[in-house]
């Protein structure tokens, strides 16, 4: 029983270290900005999605849940992402308003 707890502690520690390393990579990339804004945005979004997947899989214990529970989350995630696109046009409009006021 104690060996099982040690394995879980080691697993969670490794996941935490990976999350910490990914965060460090994001911070370094934000400071040095080796690519264009679109390229940086794409890389940072992918890294954020990887971090979110790790958090959901291990710290929210979805990796060990039934497949039906995990699959039930996909429609809601799709709806949330689709609703975000409703606000993008307004954000672009506000960005152009700020440029014209200068």
When pLDDT is cut at 50, 70 and 90, the band that residue 65 belongs to is: confident
Which has the higher per-residue pLDDT, 3 or 84? 84
First to last CA, the chain: 67
Specify the pLDDT at position 47. 93
- Averaged pLDDT, 56-71: 77
Instruction: With a cut of 60, say whether residue 1 has pLDDT above it.
Output: no
Give me the phi and psi of 86, to 5 degrees please: -65, -35
Instruction: With a cut of 70, say whether residue 26 has pLDDT above it.
Output: yes
CB of 30 closer than 8 Å to CB of 43: no
Distance of alpha carbon 99 from the chain centroid: 30
Which has the higher per-residue pLDDT, 4 or 33? 33
């Amino acid at each position: 029983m104690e060996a099982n707890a040690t394995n879980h502690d080691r697993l969670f520690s490794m996941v935490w270290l990976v999350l910490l390393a990914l965060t460090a990579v994001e911070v370094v990339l934000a400071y040095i900005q080796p690519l264009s804004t679109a390229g940086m945005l794409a890389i940072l979004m992918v890294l954020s999605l990887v971090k979110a997947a790790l958090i959901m899989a291990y710290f929210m214990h979805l990796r060990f849940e039934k497949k039906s529970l995990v699959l039930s989350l996909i429609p809601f995630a799709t709806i949330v992402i689709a609703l975000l696109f409703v606000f993008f046009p307004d954000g672009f409009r506000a960005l152009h308003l700020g440029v014209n006021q200068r």
